[in-house]
Homo-oligomer: A and B are copies of this chain.
Amino acid sequence: MSAPLQPQQFADLSMPRRWLMGPGPSEVHPRVLRAMATPLVGHLDPDFLTLLSEIQMLLRGVMRTRNAFTLPISGTGSAGMEACLVNLIEPGDEILIGVAGVFGERMCEAARRAGGVVRRIDVPWGRVIEPDQVADELRRGAPKIVALVHAETSTGALQPLPEIGSLAREAGALFLVDAVTSLAGVDLRVDEWGIDAVYGGTQKCLSAPPGLSPVSLSPRACEALQRRKTPCPSWYLDFSLLGAYWGQERLYHHTAPITMLYALREALRLVAEEGLEARFERHRRHHRMLLQGLTRLGFDFVVEEAHRLPQLNAVRLPAGRDEATLRRRLLEDYGIEVGAGLGAFKGKVWRIGLMGESSTPNHVHALLGALSQLLD
């Protein structure tokens, strides 16, 4: 054998205790961890099919939608993004994408690979797309899809959606929204805001482990799927096949990630118990605490106040501080993870997450206390 297995090389799993205050994963509630230790049942077991239906009901509640097609994709948030794009785009279809950071850029890249013709609205990182910019673009001809990132994880900006949703609908375009970082952390009203397709992540404000991406499609988006002239280029992410397993037919497609679905159900139940409004207020409250403390320590917020995400805080460090050294000491000396800047913000900005179970006063106090010592 070319590479012999030497079990003695590999010690018992022993991971450090971390305070997860980066851009995700966030911390996971002990009830969710315990749910994952539940022995498995089969993916066609009657009890498991009931669990699937419960997850769908809970997801509809969190997304504020009545969409029948509401289910988690068996992959991370990026898989949800790709699923929406490859199902809604046929080669040559036009898609208008707002780009204000890494995740808008990523949508452009995946849309091009799906054969889409991408039109962009670019704004500086940390800003949001204005309805007027979208209206101008729509006057030049309506694309099939208008796509925006609700909470841009690379900049910490919250993109207002309702007005742009109306513009897209008036133009006859489908409205696609990346809600990976917004879902269950800030207000998201899929039906009321006219969102036709949306994808989220589990490892942000839902506080389940990464590995699933909740998606929802409006009836208009489902009709668009039925009008496709070519098959979806992805078999794994084909919404029509996924819908046949999650819907009435219960047709086997791929083996569902059972344990992750146990986790998602428990995480959604925790959201339901807290209530959406209380959860959003909790995220805002700890954001304000962090804002005050960091400002006192000399940090600057990247995003102007009106568009700041409470759950993801992009900040510039006090002058003269080396971000990599400081970030490493936070991790090594205090077990606290904060996120580095991506792309244009690399080396300049930190992304401090207060998401889901990581949004507590204790997280804020621990971070501020550690920074006070390190900056002293």
Known contacts A3-B61, A58-B10; A235/B109 CB under 8 A: yes
Complex alpha-carbon distance, A294 and B112, angstroms: 54
* Contacting pair A210 B269 (CB below 8 A): no
* Contacting pair B256 A210 (CB below 8 A): yes
* Contacting pair A20 B2 (CB below 8 A): no
- Closest approach, in angstroms, between the C-beta of A376 and any C-beta of chain B? 25
Complex alpha-carbon distance, A13 and B36, angstroms: 10
* Contacting pair B28 A40 (CB below 8 A): yes
A260 sits at the interface (CB 8 A): yes
Q: Which residues of B contact A211 (CB under 8 A)?
A: 74, 211, 257, 259-260
Known contacts A35-B13, A57-B3, A62-B5; A78/B259 CB under 8 A: no
* Contacting pair A236 B54 (CB below 8 A): no
* Contacting pair B5 A18 (CB below 8 A): no
Identify which of residues 223-281 in chain A touch chain B, using a CB-to-CB cut-off of 8 Å: 231-236, 252-260, 262-263, 265-266, 269, 271-273, 275-276
CB within 8 A of A3: which of B48, B60, B79? B60
A296 sits at the interface (CB 8 A): no
A4 sits at the interface (CB 8 A): yes
* Contacting pair B39 A210 (CB below 8 A): no
Q: Which residues of B contact A273 (CB under 8 A)?
A: 7
Chain A interface, DSSP helix/strand/loop, else mixed: loop
CB within 8 A of A37: which of B34, B48, B192, B331? B34
Against B, the Cβ 8 Å flags (1 = close, 0 = not) of A185-226 are 000010110000000010100000111000000000000000
* Contacting pair B5 A25 (CB below 8 A): no
Complex alpha-carbon distance, A10 and B236, angstroms: 30
Complex alpha-carbon distance, A184 and B337, angstroms: 36
Q: Which A positions have Cβ atoms within 8 angstroms of B?
A: 1-7, 9-10, 13, 15-18, 20, 22, 24-25, 27-28, 33-43, 45-48, 51, 54, 57-58, 60-62, 64-66, 74-79, 81-82, 86, 106, 109-110, 112-115, 189, 191-192, 201, 203, 209-211, 231-236, 252-260, 262-263, 265-266, 269, 271-273, 275-276, 331, 337, 342
Complex alpha-carbon distance, A110 and B236, angstroms: 8
Q: Which residues of B contact A252 (CB under 8 A)?
A: 342
Complex alpha-carbon distance, A95 and B116, angstroms: 26
Complex alpha-carbon distance, A6 and B57, angstroms: 10
